[in-house]
Amino acid sequence: MTDQAIAITVNGERRKGRTEARTTLADFLRDELALTGTHVGCEHGVCGACTVLLDGEAVRSCLVLAVQADGADITTIEGIGPEPGRLGPVQQAFMECHGLQCGFCTPGFVVSVTSFLAEQPAPTDDEIREMLSGNICRCTGYQGIVAAVHRATELIEEATA
């Protein structure tokens, strides 16, 4: 079980590392690249806390092996804002609408919602709830999160108007 060399682009930066084949992308990001914004809740695909963009699509990073991501382009929560220290519209909306309490689930929600709104900029309440079903939050009761998604659509529209 020799380690394998991999090279991935993370938040626009080319990063290299060596890893065992069994290491998930989530653990590689956190332990090798020190990008601890990607959270690991269940480690088997149920909670969504580990969601990242892989070649532009939202995926569970606990269900992708790091070796499978060799050559891929990854965006994590650290790269979701416009620049370091500035919030993107979805982050801003979560803050304004109390879309978080403890914040453990938040990186996964923000990445998922960002990717969903890029494809569907004006979702209905039902579509929002269906889309959010892939992420679990133990704290908020989801009302603030649904409100945040609505608010994010406004912020995105204002920014592009």
Q: Which residues bind ligand FES (CB under 6 A)?
A: 40-43, 45-50, 60, 62, 100-105, 137-140
DSSP letter for each residue of the chain: ---EEEEEEETTEEEEEEE-TT-BHHHIIIIIS--TTS--SSSSSSS-TTEEEETTEEEETTSSBGGGGTT-EEE-GGGSSSSTT---HHHHHHHHTT--SS-SSHHHHHHHHHHHHHH-SS--HHHHHHHHTTS--SSS-SHHHHHHHHHHHHHHHHHH-
Quick one: how far is CA 5 from the chain centroid?
Answer: 25
CB nearer to ligand FAD: pick between 62 and 90:
62
* Interaction between residue 154 and other proteins (CB under 8 A): no
Residues 73-102 that bind other proteins (CB under 8 A): none
Among residues 29, 33, 49, 59, the one that binds other proteins under rule CB under 8 A: 59
Residue 13 binds: one of ligand FES, other proteins, ligand FAD, none (C-beta under 5 to 8 A by kind): none
Binding mask 11-50 for ligand FAD (x = CB under 6 A): ----------------------------------xx----
The CB-of-156 to other proteins minimum distance in angstroms stands at: 18
Pick the piece of the chain touching other proteins (CB under 8 A) from 31-39, 58-66, 95-103, 145-153: 58-66
Count of residues engaged in binding other proteins, rule: CB under 8 A: 30
The CB-of-79 to ligand FES minimum distance in angstroms stands at: 18
Q: Count Cβ neighbours within 10 Å for each residue of 68-92 and write b for 16 or more, e otherwise.
A: ebeebebbbbbbbbeeeeeebbbbb
The CB-of-45 to other proteins minimum distance in angstroms stands at: 5
